[in-house]
Amino acid sequence: MMKRLLHIFSLGLALISSCLAEQKGEFMEQTVIIFKPDAMQQGRVGAILQRFEEMHFHISGIKMVQLSEAILREHYAHLADKPFFGDIVEFMSSAPVVIMVLEGENVIEEVREMTGETDSRLAEKGTIRGDFGKDKGQNMIHASDSVVGARAEVLRFFEPAELFPLRHNLAD
Ligand code: IDP
Ligand code: MG
């Protein structure tokens, strides 16, 4: 219990300090992308990554991992009361995934636009989910949906040593 409280407290502190750093212009906006098991199995990682590179977003971290049920329960905590919660956790832990941090001006919103609706069947053609996804569960990628959400996700999935951010100084 005490350990969990300390963990939440340190996460909060890190969140506040990194948001302040961003406000001061020391960091560019970041977002977290997870190439879900369907993207991995259908060989879509390259095609999707190419879209991000064509937007000139900077890759500040990228790795392949097998996500644990514990980290997925935390990541999808906002859906814990939904009947499909167990299915997402099971699907996302069914195979290793590629996870990355992308950086760029307005990257969170732009990537969400490129990603399309949660339900791939409703996502517009030209979006990642519209072009490659199957349905609501198998929708190719996760992408952060807000600055605060992205910060928490960067801290959740990456160690500082795994990140190579483009520091930008407004005075340069
Ligand atoms: P998002 O990925 O578009 O941000 P969220 O509402 O945050 O959507 O949901 C997270 C993930 O949970 C979705 O990407 C999808 O894989 C899964 N999910 C959401 N709603 C449903 C549903 O109604 N059925 C099955 N899976 C769902
Ligand atoms: Mg979401």
Mean pLDDT of 6-12: 58
Range of the domain at 51: 28-162
Give the CATH number of the domain where residue 86 resides. Answer: 3.30.70.141
Cβ 139 under 6 angstroms from ligand 1: yes
Specify if 23 maps to a domain: no
Question: Is there a domain that residue 8 lies in?
Answer: no
Name the pLDDT band for 27 (thresholds 50, 70, 90). confident
- Ligand 1 within 6 A of CB of 136: yes
- Confidence (pTM): 0.88
Integer Cα distance of 59 and 28 in angstroms? 12
Assess if residue 11 is contained within a domain. no
* The predicted structure's pLDDT at residue 18: 57
In a domain, 59, yes or no: yes
- Candidate from 31, 82, 93, 118 with most ligand 1 atoms within 8 A of CB, to mutate: 118
The reply to whether 10 falls in a domain is: no
Mean pLDDT of 116-123: 98
Residue 151 pairs in a beta bridge with: none
Determine the average pLDDT of the residues in 115-134.
98
Q: Is the pLDDT of residue 19 over 60?
A: no
Residue 142 domain flag: yes
- Distance in angstroms (rounded) separating the CA atoms of residues 102 and 97: 16
User: Among 89, 121, 136, which residue has the most ligand 1 atoms within 8 Å of its CB, making it the best to mutate?
Assistant: 136
Burial of 147 (C-beta count, 10 Å sphere; 0-12/13-18/19+): middle
**Residue 48 in domain:** yes
**Beta-bridge mates of residue 99:** 34, 63
pLDDT of 48-104, one tens digit each?
999 999 999 999 999 999 999 999 999 999 999 999 999 999 999 999 999 999 999
The pLDDT of 125-133, averaged and rounded, is 98
Count of domains forming the chain: 1
Among this protein's residues, is 7 annotated catalytic?
Answer: no
Q: Is 44 in the pocket of ligand 1 (CB under 6 A)?
A: no
Domain membership flag for residue 5: no
- Tell whether ligand 1 has an atom less than 6 A from the beta carbon of residue 137: yes
Residue 170's pLDDT is what? 46
